[in-house]
């Protein structure tokens, strides 16, 4: 039985299943299309539109896009959650390591490569240890955990579980709070979107601020923010800025980029 059929048999509404698909498909599309511009400092909208138009022009190629390590690992998350009917850190870690071994050329960063190679060891008992050992014990605060966070919002119904498992899922590769809290924020955004909260953008942002305010009060998070010379609650600070911009009229794209 397919995952979709399994959810349908469990009584999940068709409209919600459509949102499930949308969440995953949008993540893959963003990865594939955005890969063209990774590392660029300034990407005008016209350039993005030209890139998309060229994909439909058969004289300029076959229109096939390559997905990156972000999609590869997100697929591992989804498969693990479905197969194990919940979060299993050992299973998820093994899938990450096997996926990297199968297709190492998808743009994995040097730091995560070290982690994945250690996760492949059959002697490893603590699958969180390789990530904790990174960068002198400080751990990675990159965005890789957030890039693969969407499936946690699909697998768990309440916000507390979404936060809990997005956090520990990210900690397999990102043990710094900036890394795993970014995954929590992304998973919460998908969680609230599935509930239809995007129809009321102000409410959507307010709910994210409320949840992340609790998350960022953690002692480890505050300590990491201080060491990195960031705002005391870095994600909440950005969300408040988003809300402020939303409440104003005639905000330019340039200002949004500059402020965020």
Residue 42, marked binder: no
Q: Is residue 145 part of a domain?
A: yes
The pLDDT, as a whole number, for residue 1 is 43
What per-residue confidence (pLDDT) applies to 15? 72
Number of other CB atoms surrounding residue 138 within 10 Å: 14
Task: Please spell the DSSP secondary structure of the chain, one letter per residue.
Answer: --HHHHHHHTT--HHHHHHHHHHHHHHHHHHHHHGGGTT-S---HHHHHHHHHHHT-GGG--------HHHHHHHHHHHHHHHHTS--HHHHHHHHHHHHHH-TTTT--HHHHHHHHHHT-TT---TTHHHHTGGGGT---SSHHHHT-HHHHHH-SSHHHHHHHHHHHHTTT--SHHHHHHHHHHHHHHHHHHTTGGGSHHHHHHHHHHHHHHHTTSHHHHHHHHHTT--SSHHHHHHHHHHHHHTSSS--HHHHHHH-
Residue 236 forms part of a structural domain: no
Does the pLDDT value for residue 13 go beyond 80?
no
Q: Does residue 83 fall inside a structural domain?
A: yes
57 annotated to a ligand binding site: no
The pLDDT-based confidence of 14 (bands split at 50, 70, 90) is low
224 is in an annotated binding site: no
In this prediction, residue 200 carries a pLDDT of 85
- Residue 164 belongs to a domain: yes
Instruction: Give the pLDDT band of residue 123 (cuts 50, 70, 90).
Output: very high
Residue whose structure tokens are 């969440």: 23
Residue 9 has pLDDT above 70, yes or no: no
In the predicted structure, residue 6 carries a pLDDT above the cut 70: no
Taking residues 60-70, what's their average pLDDT? Answer: 83
**Does 36 have pLDDT greater than 50?**
yes
pLDDT > 60? residue 3 = no
> Is residue 7 predicted with pLDDT exceeding 70?
no
Q: Specify the pLDDT at position 107.
A: 92
Does residue 200 fall inside a structural domain? Answer: no
Is residue 160 in a domain?
yes
Q: Which domain holds residue 139?
A: 68-192
Q: How far apart are CA 238 and CA 17, in angstroms?
A: 31
Say how far apart CA 79 and CA 38 lie, in whole Å. Answer: 27
User: What's the token pair of residue 231?
Assistant: 């705002």
User: Chain-wide mean pLDDT for the chain?
Assistant: 89
CATH value at residue 132: 1.10.4080.10
Instruction: Output the pLDDT for position 19.
Output: 87
Looking at residue 195, its pLDDT comes to: 86
> Would residue 94 count as lying in a domain?
yes
pLDDT at 12: 63
Q: For 142-197, how does the pLDDT look when each residue is reduced to its tens digit (9 = 90+)?
A: 889 999 999 999 999 999 999 999 999 999 999 999 999 999 999 999 999 998 87
Looking at residue 260, its pLDDT comes to 84
pLDDT interval class at 135 (50, 70, 90): confident
Question: What are the two backbone dihedrals, phi and then psi, of residue 168, each rounded to the nearest 5 degrees?
Answer: -70, -30
What separation in angstroms does the CA of 121 have from each of 90, 98, 115, 167?
A: 12, 11, 10, 23
Domain annotation covers residue 206: no
The number of domains in the chain is 1
- What is the pLDDT averaged over residues 18-45? 88
């Amino acid at each position: 039985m397919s995952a979709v059929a399994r959810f349908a048999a469990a009584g999940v509404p068709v409209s919600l299943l459509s949102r499930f698909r949308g969440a995953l498909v949008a993540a893959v599309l963003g990865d594939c299309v955005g890969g063209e511009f990774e590392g660029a400092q300034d990407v005008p909208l016209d350039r993005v539109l030209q890139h998309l138009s060229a994909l439909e022009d058969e004289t300029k190629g076959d229109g096939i896009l390559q997905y990156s390590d972000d999609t590869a690992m997100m697929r591992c998350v989804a498969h693990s959650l479905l197969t194990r009917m919940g979060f299993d850190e050992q299973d998820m870690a093994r899938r990450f390591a096997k996926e990297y071994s199968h297709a190492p050329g998808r743009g994995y960063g040097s730091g995560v490569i070290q982690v994945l190679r250690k996760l492949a060891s059959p002697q490893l008992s603590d699958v969180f240890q390789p990530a904790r050992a990174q960068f002198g014990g400080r751990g990675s605060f990159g965005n890789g955990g957030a890039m693969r966070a969407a499936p946690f919002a699909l697998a768990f119904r309440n916000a507390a579980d979404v936060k809990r498992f997005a956090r520990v899922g990210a900690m397999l590769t990102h043990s710094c709070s900036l890394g795993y809290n970014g995954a929590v924020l992304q998973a919460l955004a998908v969680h609230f979107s599935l509930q239809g909260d995007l129809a009321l953008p102000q409410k959507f942002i307010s709910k994210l601020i409320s949840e992340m305010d609790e998350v960022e009060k953690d002692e480890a998070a505050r300590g990491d923010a201080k060491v990195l010379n960031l705002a005391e609650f870095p994600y909440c600070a950005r969300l408040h800025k988003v809300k402020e911009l939303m409440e104003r009229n005639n905000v330019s794209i340039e200002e949004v980029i500059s402020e965020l």
